[in-house]
Amino acid sequence: MYDVSAASATYSGPDILAVLFLGILGGIFGSIYNYLVDKVIRTYSIIHEKGAAAKILLVITIALLTSCLSYGLPWFAECQACPTDESVSCPSVGQSGNYKSFNCPSGYYNDLASLFLNTNDDAIRNLFSTSTTKEFHISSLFIFFAAVYFLGIITYGIAIPSGLFIPVILAGACYGRLVGRLFESISTLDTGLFALLGAASFLGGTMRMTVSLCIILLELTNDLLLLPLVMLVLLISKTVADNFNKGIYDQIVKIKGLPYLEAHAEPYMRHLVTSDVVSGPLVTFSGIEKVGRILDALRTTGHNGFPVIDEPPFSDAPELCGLVLRSHLLILLKGKIFSTDRVVCGAEILHRFAAFDFAKAGSGKGIKLEDLDIEEEEMDMYVDLHPITNASPYTVVETMSLAKAAILFRQLGLRHLCLVPKSQGRPPIVGILTRHDFMPEHILGLYPHIKAH
């Protein structure tokens, strides 16, 4: 897509120094970028709460500002003479190309317009272009970088389908080429390769990914010889940026409040057991439960799973039968297979429903509580939950280390983890651990004296 394999990728000591400088610069710029994006997204969240009109007004404002900068800044750029190479079309004909004749006489081109008045893909291709050292003036590269850096920060988070990957590549390629121009007296690397390394450094400084970004960039540019330098600049930029804040995607996950579990348990979890953090109230159902009680629990709680307890005369003593899901309860109640007496009627339920009926519905197609039409006289009737109960839920003892439970929860991809008592003579279930119970905010809120680090 952005082939730079035609340029020579040989490098020496001064080139390594330039790459080290790029990596440090990318880490600093990336951490600042992440910090500012975090603040902007939080501000936009407040604006979005004011309604659709505020969202539209914000989009219009950003769009007008982007248009003014993209069209206005090239007016201040000086026109440059077209290259003498006859194989090059200058000025460019059509919507893309390296040489835009914006506000310039014949035989001249506007380098800033070649970046602003192009698609992002073409602008990146122009910056990655090799054997074109003097194509973009240093001042034009600086202006374009400042504008793209600023617009990338304020654009992400508004109500439009936008992303971070391409704007980050564009800004990184711009300051990479700028560094290449500054180091051209001591470095033998092409400025197009500097643009690639700049894009890699900024990606590493913002997104903090290494292997995947390395592969993506090599696939985009088709230059395997540049692999050592790309790896070096990614590692340096990531290391520098990690000293200031987290990656941009980690910050966005935190802003949105998504309960993301890290791969490793936090150190303070080793000092706690599972029963220390389990939250309530615990809502349980009998194996054969009243319809009215199920409806009341579904209305008053947001729980997705409910423990099912078998009691005499259906068992010798109270015991954990399993776990039933909210979605399955809704399907069962909609089928209205009720009985006036507390009796087992699982065979009728199995005959009435197929396994496919309880499969996970597509987006927005599941049964909702409002869809149920339960008559008043049906509230006192009973329904058998055994056929839809998961009889083998994952359980751990209440004294299990919270760190071990967190690793188990994540590795198995669980949504519920049942806690059972250590000693006999107690209720068969202590509580249910969900993803929320493993969140640092929840744990440190319960035990503020525990240090997070």
| pLDDT at 347 exceeding the cut of 90 | no
For 404-422, what is the mean pLDDT?
Answer: 94
Which range scores top for mean pLDDT: 32-41, 248-257, 335-344? 32-41
Contacts of 24 (CB under 8 A, 6+ apart): 236, 237, 240
- What pLDDT does residue 95 have? 53
Q: Which of 275, 194, 264, 201 is nearest to 234 (CA)?
A: 201
Q: Tell me the domains of the chain and their CATH numbers.
A: 13-82+112-255 (1.10.3080.10), 260-278+398-453 (no CATH), 282-392 (3.10.580)
- What pLDDT does residue 107 have? 80
- Name the CA dihedral angle for 50, 52, 54, 58, rounded to a multiple of 10 degrees: 140
Alpha-carbon span 287 to 45, nearest angstrom: 45
pTM of the predicted model as reported, rounded to 2 decimal places:
0.80
> Over the stretch 31-90, which tens digit does the pLDDT of each residue have?
999 999 999 999 999 999 999 999 999 999 999 999 999 999 999 888 888 877 666 677
Contacts of 343 (CB under 8 A, 6+ apart): 288, 382, 384
> Over the stretch 1-15, which tens digit does the pLDDT of each residue have?
555 655 556 767 788
Three-state DSSP class for 119? coil
Q: Which of 428, 23, 397 is nearest to 201 (CA)?
A: 23
CB 193 within 8 A of CB 130: yes
Q: How confident is the model at residue 222 (pLDDT cuts 50, 70, 90)?
A: confident
